[in-house]
Amino acid sequence: MTCPYVKRIHKIAAEESSDSTVFLLLGSHEHPEVRGIMSYVNGEGYAFNTCEELEKLFSSMNFEQKKVILAAQTTQSLTEFKKCKKFLEKLCTNALFFGTICSVTEKRQTEAASLAKECDGMIVIGGKDSSNTHKLYELCCASCPNTVWVERAEELSPASFSDTTNLGITAGASTPDRIIMEVYKTMSNETQDFAQMLEESFKSLHTGETVTGTVMAVSANEIKLDLGAKVTGIIPRDQITDDATAVLADMFKIGDEVTAFVIHVDDNKGVASLSKKRVDADRHWFSLVELYEKGEILEGTITEEVKGGLLININGIRVFIPASHSGLPRNASLTALVGTTQRVRLIDIDHNRKRALASIRVVRNEERKALEDAFWAEIEVGKHYMGTVKNMTTYGAFVDLGGVDGMVHKEELSWKPIPHPSRVVSIGQQIDVYVKEFNAETKRISLGYKSEENDTWRQFMKDHGVGDVLEAKIVSILPFGAFAEVFDGVDGLIHISQIALTKIASPADVLKVGDVVTVKITKVDEEKRELSLSIRALLEEEKRAEEAAAEEAAIKEEEAKRAEEEAEYAPYIVRTID
């Protein structure tokens, strides 16, 4: 239950102090808070009430070899702390200073000092053992000598303020409201102006109001606000944010101003239940209405699928998107859009029910129209586009050029005849196309795809010609022959007469689709882009080679036989001598 401000000083004292430091604390020696803080100090530590005491401490002790640390009791005077800091800065080059005076106390002291300067009479209410009340009394006395310090209304002597024109009142942080009200009732009989001012300072709250208060405490599940009223404002976590990971201590600091909606007021308990989300929602709603009136495109996250459509979060406001405005085809599943960020335009506002309708489809149509207008303004014959294959038919492929579709006829997809566009391209593939012709009125565009760069015939003929022998894959079989692919996109015909050495009834008797065979280019028709291939020519060459080899072997055999006979009859041969 330790105050977070006091707990912070405990941490500073424990972590910053050591045997090589001197921990100095501006505070009342016997005050429980001071005694608690000093118990965390490691090494030397001293508490003092005033800057004068600090000066005497320094004159009587030697701190030259140690690092000085200065902090303050949370209820101490900020002015006194600044004096001590200034004194130490002159003597110590490596001193550490920690501003540990509570911001609420600091604000209360500043306001009390300011009020005392404007008044010729001051009443300070609070316990005589209260440190922060004591500081308030000292501050008020400095500016207004006619200052009294009381614990209860019975201690007041209204006669002592008989000559007072402006009477001020302040109280310590822990002074109960009922004590302040007793003082008010006592003084209200003496000065109506004072009574009116004090009554105004204790304004009443009503359900449905919007109020602004100062954060006085932050916990994991709520924040508390000083509303300048008879009650303390409390905003539970679920009335601040829907984010389960949010940390309230990161969102709010002591002294921050927060505007909230009053849900309920309990005068008996002295608390008011507030909602920040309600104020934020109202503010965001008015902002949404303004954006609707301006016709601006908005961006938000689809949070969930509901009956008949989707919900999108736009600046904290849930906006409904009908299924017909989702931008998806009719009866398509909307689940795929949940969690995505979408651009929408508000199409309707119900001010009374604070409901809005939005459309993804309208934005997409507008963007598509803008792209189309820009496209048609710049299109020209020969211009290249990187497009995406969107759809295919038996006669060609439709390509999305960026909001506008064009068509590539299948004859323009390949240099050779193809049965279907899928032989060359696939759905979703990006291809480089160029405009062959277009009609802006009918919105039709004829595209070209094949070019010299992707002309496989030219690529093949750069390295091949008549007489070349190469591998080929049978791709189709017809009654008069078989077509074989010799290069990607380049086929040649093997006539039925060029398949085998002997006459065959059908190419299918010898070949089947998928077979890889060795062929010889026998003829090239550049104009028609046709190749004549032959398996038979290679078979004949192979046969001739075999026959030649057999003939050569026979000759060699005959020569060997003759040599053998000569060797056998050599002794009987009579040679004629000239």
Known catalytic residues are 33
Q: How far is CA 223 from CA 174, 217, 219, in A?
A: 18, 6, 6
Quote the Cα angle for 221-225-229, to 5°. 140
Going 53 to 78 to 151 to 130, the CA torsion angle's sign is negative
Distance CA 390, CA 383 (A): 20
Distance CA 458, CA 475 (A): 21
- Residue 195: strand, helix, or coil: helix
Look up tokens 């501006």; give the residue: 26
Non-local (6+) Cβ contacts of 2 within 8 A are 10
DSSP-assigned beta bridge partners for residue 399:
389, 406
Q: Is beta strand 490-495 parallel, antiparallel or unpaired with respect to 481-487?
A: antiparallel
Non-local (6+) Cβ contacts of 269 within 8 A are none
Helix axes 192-201, 177-188, angle to 10 degrees: 160
- Residue 494: strand, helix, or coil: strand
Cα 557 versus chain centre, distance: 91
Q: Which amino acid is at 335?
A: T
Closest CA to 27 of 132, 98, 127: 132
Token representation of residue 267: 């005068």
